[in-house]
Amino acid sequence: MAERKILNGNAAVAEAIRQIDPDVVAAYPITPSTAIVEYIAKFVADGLMSAEFVTPESEHSAMSMCVGASAAGARVFTATASQGLALMFEILYIASSLRLPIVSGIANRALSAPINIHGDHSDTMGARDSGWIQIYSENSQEAYDNIIQAFRIGENPDVSNPVMVGMDGFILSHAVQDMLVEEDSKVKAFVGERKPLYNILDVDHPITVGPIDFTDYYFEHKRSQFVGMENAPKVILEVAEEFKKEFGREYGFFELYKMDDAQLAVVVIGSTAGTAKVVVDQLREDGKKVGLVKLRVYRPFPAKELADVLSSMRAVAVLDRAASPGAVGGPLFTDIRASLYEYEKRPILVDYIYGLGGRDIAPKHIAGVYERLERIAATGERGELIGYINLRE
């Protein structure tokens, strides 16, 4: 029987890992994902997991170990945040290029400087071109469910690609939620066994992994590495379908909230969706045709599916919890704007940078965004392309 538990995001992720019990866990503590590693260490110490748990001396070595272990056929998990993910940056690309389905939990946190331990998406957004699948969570339940699905998605032979599962630092990692933890045996059965594409430990069939390519092969190999990402959308939906059948909760590339007849929409990633839903409910009571799109899968970016939904809106605001200095808006905004380029009919788009370094975003702020969308829709005047929420100028 599934069990109701009150868990914070870190505990929820650790709980999924206890149930899955990967072959190797190699992780370095960093706020706010530290507790994931501590919970796992305790599970191993108490004999509740038999995984090989290793504590590298840095995140760079943690990801390097994950690459070695995954190339050796092991199912591998790590967890990190912020500077830790930034330190892994070099090896993130090697993990995806070697087609290793490592799963990483991320408690999203701001990047230095100034040093700041609170939540924003700068860390994972900085890794958006690293070839990792990126899935984001709104709450502890989703963090738990996403970790379980991540192994199935990444290890699917057509995908064979690493996956990072994000949850907002502190807001999710440290806030408790009443959630369902599924039965151990059901989770284990759902995830199944990893069947690696190759194994460096297969000494009877020696292979050379990670050789040097010159100008004659690099481009072809690089291109072939993208296939996993290209196959991922289909697999993500298949796994979500199976997950729904087994556990009842529904997942897709994104969640549509009161979007059926909406004319004004906000697009957001992560925990802020919860706040925005409250605002949408209030505005709906006032008869406003407003809706919300909560993006779950950021890489691969569901461009067509998202644009199909947004193209019929009159005005859309994208909320970016990360900045991309020098670019035309935050990362989510530029992706959405590009996705709509092919459409004859498309909404007026605005971008908001919000919540950097854990700056609070309250219902009143989101209500203000919808108010502006109303004005834009009424007048056709967009005004500033990029705005900032709750920022002292």
Partner 1 sequence: MGVRARLKDLAGLEDKFVSGHGLCPGCGIPIMLRLVLRATEYPIVAVNATGCLEVCSSGFPYTAWKIPWMHNAFENAGATAAGIEAAYKALKRRGKLPGGDKKIKIVAFGGDGGTYDIGLQSLSGAMERGHDIVYICYDNQSYANTGGQRSGATPFGASATTSPAGTKLPGKLQWRKNLTEIMAAHGIYAAQASVSHWKDLFMKAQKALEIDGPAFLNVLIPCPTEWKTKPEDGVRLAKIAVDSKVWPLYEVENGKYKINYYPKKEVDVVEWLKPQGRFAHMFKPGNEWMIEEYRRRVNEEWERLVRLTKA
Residue whose CB is less far from partner 1, 64 or 139? 64
Q: What residue ranges bind partner 1 (CB under 8 A)?
A: 23-24, 26, 50-52, 54-58, 60-62, 64-74, 76, 90-91, 94, 199-214, 217, 221
CB of 23 to partner 1, least distance (A): 4
Decide whether 46 or 261 has the Cβ nearer to partner 1.
Answer: 46
CA distance 158 to 226: 11
Write the single-letter amino acid at 260: D
Q: Looking up tokens 């709509």, which residue turns up?
A: 340
Q: How far is the CB of 64 from partner 1 (least distance, A)?
A: 4
Q: Which residue has the tokens 């070595």?
A: 61
Show the tokens assigned to 222: 């690089």
- Please state the closest distance from residue 24 (CB atom) to partner 1, in A: 5
Residue nearer to partner 1 on the CB measure, 22 or 331: 22
**Beta strands of 55-127 (E only): which ranges?**
76-80, 103-108
Of the candidates 150, 178, 340, the one whose C-alpha atom is nearest the C-alpha of residue 235 is 150
Beta-carbon count within 10 A of 46 CB: 9
270 within 8 A of 108, measured Cβ to Cβ: yes
Q: Tokens at residue 275, please?
A: 């706040």
Other residues' Cβ atoms within 10 Å of the Cβ of residue 339: 20
What crossing angle do the helices spanning 59-71 and 82-97 adopt, rounded to 10°? Answer: 30
Do the Cβ atoms of 373 and 351 come closer than 8 Å? no
β-pair partners for 176: 8
Q: Of 66 and 159, which CB lies nearer to partner 1 in the complex structure? A: 66
Nearest distance in Å: CB 216, partner 1: 8
Question: 243 Cβ partners below 8 Å, 6+ apart?
Answer: 145, 148, 149, 190, 249, 251
Q: How far is the CB of 145 from partner 1 (least distance, A)?
A: 25
Nearest distance, CB of residue 52 and partner 1, angstroms: 4
CB of 100: closest distance to partner 1 in angstroms?
10
Cβ-based nearer residue to partner 1, 36 or 125: 36
**56 or 363: CB nearest partner 1:** 56
Would you say 66 or 293 has its CB closer to partner 1? 66
| Cβ 363 to partner 1 shortest distance, Å | 46
CB 4 within 8 A of CB 12: no
Number of Cα atoms under 13 Å in the Cβ half of residue 171:
27
Instruction: Give the separation between CA 44 and CA 38, rounded to whole angstroms.
Output: 10
Shorter beta-carbon distance to partner 1: residue 193 or 344 = 193
